[in-house]
Amino acid sequence: MKKTILINLVVIIATLSANAQKADNNSSQRFEIKVITSVESIIPNGLGRSRIISTNETKDYKQFSSTQTEDDNTRNKSKRKEIRVKNFEETKLLNFYNIAGIRFQNIASNDAVISSKLTRMLAQGWDLIFVSSGVESDAGKDDNKGIFITRYIFKRPVNN
């Protein structure tokens, strides 16, 4: 009986220790984030531009940030050219509309291209963690402007 209790106690302690180490390793795991953006034109007559955009460089947001307090309200003085990324991948997509109106074949084509990009990202070890989309359009009289934008947010572990 004492032997059984002792063995069970050793198994419980070993399990708790292993779980604690596993939890500790997970909490220290680092990830990198990648955002892919698709912009699809909803401008009539096919006059807009549609693209998938993916940056090939990183920026440190801290360089372009400031903290506002009651005592110090100094604004960040970064120039736009310092923030702008010039090294990015641009993949052409088709516009939702052509001269005859909405073109469903273009939407299906865009779905195929976007699926290809997302599949490539997954194959490279990225996990899709969030998707956010929205539409910008005035929708007023003679509205000739609009985009459908989707952001795909990925993460993957950073090798230490």
Q: What is the pLDDT of residues 53-69, one digit of tens each?
A: 999 999 888 888 888 88
Q: What is the pTM of this model?
A: 0.74
Q: What is the pLDDT of residues 115-152, one digit of tens each?
A: 999 999 999 999 999 999 998 876 667 666 788 899 99
Which residue bears the tokens 């920026």?
Answer: 59
Domain encompassing residue 115: 2-157
Q: Return all residues near 131 (Cβ < 8 A) that are at least 6 apart.
A: 150, 151, 152, 153
CB 52 within 8 A of CB 91: yes
In this prediction, residue 147 carries a pLDDT of 84
- For the chain, the domain total comes to 1
pLDDT greater at residue 52 or residue 22 = 52
